Amino acid sequence: MSEPDHGQNISIDAPWNALYIDGEWIAPGDRDGIDVRNPTTQESITSVPAGTVEDVDRAFEAATRAQESWAKTTPDERAAVVRRAANVIDEYEAEIREILAVETGAAKPRQDIEHGGTVTFVHDAASFAFRSSGGHNQSKIPGKENIIQREPVGVVGVISPWNVPLKLSIRAVAPAIALGNSVVLKPAQESSISGGLLLARIFEKAGLPEGVLNVVTGKGSVAGDRTAAHPDCDVIAFTGSTGAGRLVGENAIKHFAFPALELGGNNPHVVLEDANLDQAVAAGTFGSFWNQGQVCISINRHLVHESIYDEYAERLSERAAGLKIGDPTDDDVVIGPIINESQRDEMLDYIDRTVEEGGTVLTGGEADGLFVEPTVITDVTNDMAAACNEHFGPVAPIIPFSDDDEAVELANATEYGLAGSVHSVDRGRARDVADRIDVGMIHVNDQPVNVEPHVPFGGVKESGLGRYNGKWIIDEFTETKWTSVQREPREYLF
C-alpha cells in the first residue's frame, strides 16, 4: 500500500520510512526495518524498509516500462527536469546540509563541497541531453552513408556509498536520466536518506515522470545483490570497496551488464625534498582529514623525502592536533564522527597494529565514542597495517624515501591505483614523478581530494573499471549504434 501523506517534504524530520517505486511512496508493511542512526548522538533518526528481491523486481519493471517513453522525450525536456532538480537542491540547501550532518556526520567542510559540488554536477549533467552525439563516417562502398548514433542503454542500476552519499549517488543518477535512461537506486544502509530517498524527493519536485527513478532501500546482500544481478539492468554503477565491487561486477557480468565500478584506493602524497613545505603540509592536512578521511581519494600514505621528514611530520602533527572535533552541525567543527562502530574499530585496529609493528603516534590515536582523533604516525614502512590497508579514517602514516625512484616504487607498491599527489617547486620534476605513478588521477602541488564534473574520475588496477563525468560517463550510459544507408544501387560479388 502507498503512504498517502508522505508528500514532498525535504527535511531531516520528514517521513522517510518508505520505498519509492513507480512514483509511489510504499509504506513498510510487513517488511523488516533498517534503523538509520545519527552517528554523533547514536540516536535513531528513522527506520526505512528493508527492500526485498520482489521490491527490486517491481522497481525494474517500473523503470523498464517508463524508460521507453522517457527516451522518446526531447533533449530539452530531459534537460529541463534535471535543471529543475539542481534548483531544488539549491532551494533546500539548509535542509540538505542538516540531513548530511545528522545522518552521516558531515561537518561544514564536507557540507560545503558536497552540496555545492552536487549542484554543479547536476547542472553539468543537464547538458548531457544535448552532448550525446554520434556522427557520419565515410564508407569504402560507393553510395553508402555510415551513421553513428548514441542511444540510451535502458535501465541503469546505481548502488551508492555512505561516505559522500548525495554527490556520489547523483553523479550517476542525473547523467543517466539526462541521457534518456531510467534508474533503480539502492543507497547504502547508513545513508538511506541522503543517498537515496532524498533524491526521490528532489526529482519528484522537479517533475520527473513516474517510474524513471526508483529507490529501494535495504541490505546489500539482498536489495544490492538483486539490483546488480537483475536481467533488466543494463549498466550497474557502483561505488564502494574493492571486495564488494568484485561481487557486484560478477553479478553484473553474468547477464552482460556493464559494470561501472569506482572502488578503493591507497593514495600516496609524495613530498620531494625541494617541495614548498607550507603548501605540502596544508595539502596533506586537507587530503587526510577532510570528512574524517572517509573518502576513497583521501591521502592514505604520506611519502616524504628523508631530508625533510622530521619537519614535515612535526608540522602535520601540529595542524592535525588543532582541528576541532565535535558535533558536525556546529560551523567551526572540522572533524565529525565516524559513520559506525565497525568502521571505527577497524581504523583503530590499524593504528594499534602499526604501533606494534614499530610506528610512533605523534598525535591522536584515540577515540571518544565515534569521534576518532586526527592521527599522525611516523616510523612507518609501506607494509605496516595503516599503510598497506585502505584505513578510511583520519589517519596519516608518514613513510620516508631517499630518492625519486624509491618514491615511485613505494607509491606503486599496492594493488590499488585510484589517485595521488606529488609536491615539488620544480613542476617538471613533479610531473615526471607523477607520470610514473600508476593511478587514474594524479595531482601536482595539490592533494588527491579533487573532483570536477568535466574531467574523468576513476582508477586502474583494483580501484575499478570505467570513468565517471563528462563524455566518459556519456559513453558508459549510452549504446553506440551503426546505421548504414545504401543510397545508390550496389553491385555484389554474386
Domain count, the chain: 2
Task: Verify whether residue 296 is a known catalytic residue.
Answer: yes
Provide the pLDDT for residue 2.
42
Residues 318-329: pLDDT tens digits?
999 999 999 999
Provide the pLDDT for residue 304.
98
pLDDT above 70 (res 297):
yes
Residue 34 lies in a domain: yes
The average confidence (pLDDT) of the chain is: 96
Nearest to 262 by CA among 459, 470, 419: 459
What is the C-alpha separation between 300 and 390, in angstroms, rounded? 7
Grid cell of 425 as nine digits = 617547486
Nearest to 344 by CA among 284, 393, 271: 393
**287 and 252 within one domain:** no
**204 and 165 within one domain:** yes
Residues 460-478: pLDDT tens digits?
999 999 999 999 999 999 9
Residue 453 lies in a domain: no
Provide the pLDDT for residue 6.
55
Residue 77 lies in a domain: yes
**23 and 117 within one domain:** yes
**290 and 396 within one domain:** yes
Residue 418 lies in a domain: yes
Nearest to 88 by CA among 45, 118, 110: 118
The sign of the dihedral angle between the CA atoms of 467, 473, 479, 484 is: negative
**332 and 202 within one domain:** no
pLDDT above 90 (res 5):
no
Residue 351: give its domain's CATH number: 3.40.309.10
**273 and 236 within one domain:** no
Residue 494 lies in a domain: no
Q: Which of 415, 444, 473 is the last residue of a domain?
A: 444
The sign of the dihedral angle between the CA atoms of 43, 45, 46, 51 is: negative
Strand partners, 182: 155
What is the C-alpha separation between 246 and 310, in angstroms, rounded? 39
List the strands of the sheet with 464-465, edge to edge. 24-26, 19-21, 213-215, 182-186, 155-159, 235-239, 258-262, 464-465
**226 and 161 within one domain:** yes
pLDDT above 80 (res 4):
no
CB neighbour class for 351 (10 Å; exposed up to 12, middle 13-18, buried from 19): buried
Amino acid identity, position 363? T
Residue 282 lies in a domain: yes
Residues 20-66: pLDDT tens digits?
999 999 999 999 999 999 999 999 999 999 999 999 999 999 999 99
Task: Verify whether residue 415 is a known catalytic residue.
Answer: no
Q: Which of 114, 190, 204, 262 is catalytic?
A: 262
> Average of pLDDT values for 219-234?
97
Please give the full DSSP string across 281-308, using - where no structure is assigned: HHHHHHHHHGGGG-STTSEEEEEEETTT
Residue 119 lies in a domain: yes
What is the C-alpha separation between 201 and 193, in angstroms, rounded? 10
The domain in which residue 430 lies consists of: 267-444
Tell how strand 299-305 and strand 371-372 pair up.
unpaired
Residue 103: give its domain's CATH number: 3.40.605.10
**287 and 214 within one domain:** no
Grid cell of 147 as nine digits = 551513421
pLDDT above 50 (res 3):
no
Q: Which of 103, 190, 233, 296 is catalytic?
A: 296
SS3 of residue 41 by DSSP: coil
For residue 190, the 8-state DSSP code is G
pLDDT above 80 (res 101):
yes
Provide the pLDDT for residue 7.
56
**336 and 473 within one domain:** no
Residues 263-275: pLDDT tens digits?
999 999 999 999 9
What is the C-alpha separation between 219 and 233, in angstroms, rounded? 18
What is the C-alpha separation between 417 and 429, in angstroms, rounded? 21
**287 and 225 within one domain:** no
Band of pLDDT at residue 332, cut at 50, 70 and 90:
very high
E strand or H helix at 183, and its extent?
strand 182-186
* pTM as predicted: 0.95
Grid cell of 440 as nine digits = 587514474
High-pLDDT (> 70) share of the chain, %: 98
Provide the pLDDT for residue 133.
87
**271 and 214 within one domain:** no
Residue 381 lies in a domain: yes
> Average of pLDDT values for 342-347?
98
**346 and 420 within one domain:** yes
Nearest to 305 by CA among 436, 460, 410, 416: 410
